Amino acid sequence: MANRNNPPRKSLSAKQLSIPKAPTGITGLDEITEGGFPTGRPTLVSGSAGAGKTMLATEFLVRGATQFNEPGVFLMFEENSEELTANVRSLGFDLDKLSAEKKIVLDHVRIERSEIEETGEYDLEGLFIRLDHAIRSIGAKRVVLDTLEALFAGLPSHAILRAELRRLFRWLKERGITALVTGETGEASLTRYGLEEYVADCVITLDHRVTGQVSTRRLRVVKYRGSSHGTNEYPFLIGEHGLSVLPITSLRLDHAAPTERFPTGIDGLDQMLGGKGVFRGASILVSGSPGTGKSSIGASFVNAACRRGERAILFAYEESADQIVRNMRSIGLDLAPWIKKGLLQIHASRPTLQGLEQHLLAMHDLIADFNPSVVAVDPISNLTFVRDDIEVKPTLMRLIDHLKKHEITAVFTSLTSGANSTTAPEDSQVGVSSLMDVWLLLRNHEMNGERNRTIYVLKARGMSHSNQVREFLLNDSGISLVDVYIGTDGVLTGTSRVAQEARERSDAELRLQSHARKLRQLASKRKTIESQIAALQADLDVESAELDFSVAEEAARIENDRRNLDKMAIRRGSQLSAKDSLKKGKR
């Protein structure tokens, strides 16, 4: 328990606890070493011939001088300055310019064993004086010694060699110089003398292996005193811009998640994805058996991006660029104008042209130069021709994370087998479906002697999506999706669906005609009844008029009788009124 005498220690981050480090500026290496090489201490880089030791050392020195304002001294014992300058010029490193600017000192020390034997005992004292002068001349912070084997080639005694080796590393450390020493790999140890790895504070091994006629360079941090570091083997490449280390396990899932969505270029597919398409920066897997339309969907994504005025890159491993343009034109996708406008690049090559890492590095460089918003790779399953699945998945993981980090939407097509209506849902051939945000599964549906394509959304992270199967049509007018017919006889596609839909339309038309006929009969009957009612009403009116006439006639007769009686009474002289006469008559 903490008390006043033993106050609790403040927790420190791993970076705070680590020793000071000098960044190398090499892509990926600083991430693996969590900051670079130990500052003021020697680092040993061992490897076989051609592994890339001198290139790594040169870039460490050049990056230090140009990016971190740390001048350096390159002490070489095999190549001379002119040879080294010429060799690294292809990487864009101008050592002559850096030397003229006093940012780098190149010093070639020629060591001949025959001359040493003639002059007597040999030690490193002269080397220390020479190196110290070079360091002081430009205020160097970094030093490279390339290589130890050439430096100690003149020492016949192993005991003297070990003593001088310890003295060299101690001398470098006492001066606080961040040193990089290269050495060749021994038969049973990391180095030829088996001592360098013990006296160095950081040890890195480079390996150059050939598997399946494809060469690969690997890097591993074997030892790093006072610091945590990645311990796996990491592939690295020497490209046009220097070394690139491709870490995988140290990558963090800290990329942004854009909320913007854009259409896929296929209206029906957008509707299946909630009506808005996919998220920007999403990774989309389109898998299916041969001929299901994977490449067409990938081209639709690319075409839609160009229509929005955005840039896109299509990496193709089966067809040439001209072949893709021609074939896509047959389904209404004309990619040629986008290429002409500079919105689309198609890079087509056989997967065997390069190793996986070289493919990945080439993609990185092209993406960095072109800055696209959509990248399509068609198909990723072809990469397995040069490596097994274990190698392909980490490579794709690196590519996916790189694209996500730059919010680039990626479309990967993958060839699968066993994709028909009776088999279980297939997995992607290279096992990368778990890395994808959206998975579109294309399948062949065979029935009644014909094959039809279907599509459905197997998953779509972060968006509502349809669970319905759609029929997938490719024709001259483009790509379209239609609902499959689901009835008592099962799911119908193709001509079966068309025939069933025609029958349903015919039945509906017959029902409409029957209904109209019944309506006409009803109207006719209503009209007849209304006519009969009118005739009866007319008869009724005639009889009513006749009755009124009879009543009026009777009233007129009575009036006429009264008048006659009145006239008769007047003639007889009677004072009786005709009315009284009538009353008497009635009695």
Q: Give the active site residue among 31, 34, 149, 318.
A: 318
Mean per-residue pLDDT over the chain, rounded: 82
Contact indicator for 438, 460 with CB cutoff of 8 Å: yes
- The encoded tokens of residue 473 equal 């049509």
Dist. CA 393–CA 380, nearest whole Å = 10
Dist. CA 246–CA 432, nearest whole Å = 18
pLDDT number for residue 212: 63
pLDDT number for residue 456: 85
Which of 176, 144, 169 lies closest to 59, judged by CA? 144
Helix ranges (DSSP H) in 464-493: none
What value does the mean pLDDT take over residues 84-110? 88
Concatenating the DSSP letter of every residue in 73-95 gives EEEESSS-HHHHHHHHHTTT--H
Q: How many residues does the chain have?
A: 587
pLDDT at 395 over 50: yes
pLDDT tens, position by position, 112-130? 666 555 455 566 788 888 8
Contact indicator for 430, 380 with CB cutoff of 8 Å: yes
pLDDT at 369 over 80: yes
Beta-sheet pairing, 490-492 with 344-348: unpaired
Q: Residue 325 belongs to what H/E stretch?
A: helix 321-329
What value does the mean pLDDT take over residues 164-182? 87
pLDDT at 462 over 60: yes
Please give the residue that has the higher pLDDT: either 578 or 64. 64
Which residues are CB-neighbours of 504 under 8 A, at least 6 positions away?
A: none
Out of 75-89, 104-118, 248-262, 515-529, the most confident range is: 515-529
- Does the active-site annotation cover 318? yes
- Does the active-site annotation cover 78? yes
Over the range 323-355, which residues count as b (16 or more CB within 10 Å of their CB) and which as e? ebbeebeebbbebeebeeeebbbbebeebeebb
Read off the pLDDT band of 352 (50, 70, 90). Answer: low
Can you give 171-210 as a three-state secondary structure string?
Answer: HHHHCCCEEEEEEECCCCCCCCCCCHHHHCCEEEEEEEEE
Please give the residue that has the higher pLDDT: either 315 or 151. 315
What value does the mean pLDDT take over residues 183-211? 78
Q: Give the active site residue among 59, 78, 426, 471.
A: 78
Dist. CA 116–CA 113, nearest whole Å = 5
pLDDT at 305 over 80: yes
pLDDT number for residue 239: 76
Q: To the nearest 10°, the Cα dihedral for 152, 71, 51, 131?
A: -10
Helix (H) and strand (E) counts in the chain: 18, 24
Read off the pLDDT band of 421 (50, 70, 90). Answer: very low
Read off the pLDDT band of 576 (50, 70, 90). Answer: low
Dist. CA 222–CA 183, nearest whole Å = 14
pLDDT at 487 over 70: no
pLDDT tens, position by position, 35-60? 899 999 999 898 888 888 899 999 99
pLDDT tens, position by position, 434-449? 888 999 999 887 777 7
Model pTM? 0.65
Q: To the nearest 10°, the Cα dihedral for 8, 9, 13, 18?
A: -160
